[in-house]
Every structure is written in C-alpha cells, then in structure tokens.
Amino acid sequence: MTTNNRGFVTFPFAGMALDPIHVGTGGARLGRVDNTIVRDPVTRIPKIPGSSLAGVMRAYTAMAKGKYPKCAGLGQPERDGAGGHCGKADCPVCTVFGFAKGIGASGGFAGLAAFSDMQVLLFPVASQLGPQWITCPMALRQTSIAEFAELGDLPEQQVVYRETDGGAVHMNLGWLLLPVKTDWKPLTANDQFKDQFKALGIPNYIISRLAVVSDKLFSHIVNSNLEVRTSVAIDPATGAAEEGALFTYEALPRGTVLFWEVICRNPKHFKIDRDDVKAVDSPEKVRDAITDAHSYLEHLGIGGMGSRGMGRLRVLATKEPADADKPGKEVS
C-alpha cells in the first residue's frame, strides 16, 4: 500500500489550554451560571464541537496562506456574483476546507479535512499535593489510541489511582476526598501508558501528576471544578456598571488537555470542476496545511470571551499515524 493510494489518514492531536476556554451554547439559561459551555449530551462532560474547531482553523489557515478574508467564512457571494470563495483547485483553503457555489449554482466541494470534537483528556484539579491532572478510562478510550482501546473499568470506583501515593492516604479533588491507590497496572506497571502521552507532546510535569478516577466520578469532578467568572456590562455614557447587566459564565480552566482527530482524505481521489486538486497532493499535505495555522490558535484562540482573557490553545506535538495495516487508521 503506497501513500498515494490511501483513501484517508487519521491524525491525532492534543492541545493545552493557555487560558480558560469558553465555547458557549448560544444563550443564557437558568442554572448555576447564566452562560454555559457545550457538553456531551450523554456524559455531560464539556467539549468543543468539531464545527467550532473547523471554523476557526479555516479562518486561521486563510490568514496563514494570504487568502483572508475571501476564502474564510461562509463564502456565499453577493447576488451579482461578487465575492465568495475562490473555489480554485490550487487554493489550499478551498480544497482543504471546501467551498460553496454562488446563489443558483450547483455543486461545491466538501473539503479534504474533517474535524472530530475536542474531548477533555486530562483535567486539572487542585489538591493538597498541588495540581493534579485527572482522567478516566472512558476519556482514554475515546482517543482511539490502540494502547488505550482495551482499557476496562477501574478495580475500585470510589478511589483515585496514582503512580505513587506521594505520602497521602487520601486526596481531595475539589469537594471529593478519595482514598489513594497505586495498584492499577496500566498506570503503574506499563511504560507504554506514559509513552502515549509523551508522543502527543504532553509535558512531563503533567504526566508526573497524572491521576485516574472512575468514569462515574470523572464527570462530577470536571463539572464541579470548571472556572466560573462574573462580568458586568459597562454603560458607555457613565463608564460605570450598567444596571441589571451582571452575568456569569463558565469555562474550561487553564491547563486542560484536549484531544481531537483530523481525518484527511486523499486529494488524488477528488476533482474540482474536472480538474485535479493542485494545492495538496496527499493526506499528509492536507494535515500540513492545517498545522501551519496552529500558531494562530496560540495567539488568537478559540471560542468566545476573547476580550476577557479567554481562548488561547497551544497545540502540542502530534503522534504519527499508525502503520498501513492497522485497522481504523488508513483505508484504501
């Protein structure tokens, strides 16, 4: 199997929040805070939708390739045909992210890259031993990394597992006080467990403070330790707080490690207006077009509340894709 014949390749990425990240649900609601963040409907664990990531990466790729703003955004042209995506076979933005045709025109192009949701992989929580990065078997299995795929439930549900106990019999994780155990073999007796985190570029200071809890507790720990801020609108006429404009909003805290995947299709299998795709010639080149814009995430961020010091995300080193004969990663 040669590189040029692959149907698609899945590339895993990990990123660490440099600021709190707020990707809101789009409106206020009754509850603990006014403006909540997006959560998985089943696990109730916060996430960043793939559509949010794809949108900002299109804009940042357009900036990096000198195609901003024409090839960014929705790209719908005016009724007279002016503006809109260029839709050219040699455009690295339109080929990678797709483009829309004008009003009344047929066709378009779906794009060569597809983004998964960004899932919480490691979540920082304060404890008496300092910051701990918490995960659970379910969060590890969702990465689709082979070494994590077969992880089962923890032997005990109401404990926290660490490589060493650090001299603590119990550990507080927010409002929970849990016994400390060191006998979960995947964490304490398997170097491959740590090697997978290192391959994703996760720093050693986080790996050394890794703790694992049960799937049942993970959601409660995450949702109980989100950052909640209070803001108020300012009356431009007086420069003081506007009456009745106090509101609260939540965010993933700084230091959260997120995991996502980008599925890159082979450009050689597609044509644009009967013309071969010229901007990229392999799934690896599709990935490179996206990674060239990752530095924009570190400076311009993702999500809302950017003017309030939120949103910056540093993409860590990536793990290379699996061998060609490994199921689920590469398809002809």
- Write out the DSSP string of 1-54: --GGG-SEEEEEEEEEESS-BB-EEEEE-SSSSSEEEPB-TTT--BEE-HHHHH
pLDDT tens digits, 266-297: 999 999 888 899 999 999 999 999 999 999 99
**Structural domain range at position 185:** 127-224
Of 224, 243, 271, which marks where a domain is finished? 224
Instruction: Considering only the C-alpha atoms of the chain, give the largest distance between any 2 of them, rounded to a whole number of Å.
Output: 72
Amino acid letter, 110: A
Statement to judge: residues 110 and 230 lie in one domain: yes
Note whether residue 198 is domain-resident.
yes
Residue 246 scores a pLDDT above 60: yes
Tally of domains in the chain: 2
Q: Of 135, 175, 180, which Cα lies nearest the Cα of 158?
A: 180
Beta bridge partners of 195: none
Amino acid (one-letter) located at 280: V
Q: What is the dihedral of CA 200, 204, 207, 209, to 10 degrees?
A: -150
183 and 116 within one domain: no
Confidence tier at 5 by pLDDT (50, 70, 90): low
In a domain, 324, yes or no: no
Looking at the fold, whether 59 and 110 belong to one and the same domain comes out as: yes
pLDDT tens digits for 119-169? Answer: 999 999 999 999 999 999 999 999 878 888 888 889 999 999 998 888 889
Residue scoring higher pLDDT (120 or 77) = 120
Higher pLDDT, 328 or 290: 290
Residue 330 has pLDDT above 60, yes or no: no
Whole-angstrom distance, CA of residue 202 vs CA of residue 194: 10
Domain final residue, candidates 224, 251, 280: 224
| C-beta atoms surrounding 182 within 10 Å | 12
Residue 267 contacts residue 282 (beta carbons within 8 Å): yes
The mean pLDDT value for 227-253 works out to 88
Of the residues 224, 254, 289, the one at which a domain ends: 224
Which amino acid, one-letter code, is at 111?
Answer: G
Tell me which residue has tokens 């002809």.
332
Q: Do 110 and 168 fall within a single domain?
A: no
Same domain, 158 and 220: yes
Query: Which residue(s) pair with 176 in the sheet?
Result: 173
Rounded Cα gap, residues 153 and 123, in angstroms: 19
Task: Give the HSE-up count for residue 259: Cα atoms under 13 Å, Cβ half-sphere.
Answer: 23
Query: 103 in a domain, yes or no?
Result: yes
| pLDDT tens digit sequence for 82-126 | 667 888 899 999 999 998 875 555 668 899 999 999 999 999 999
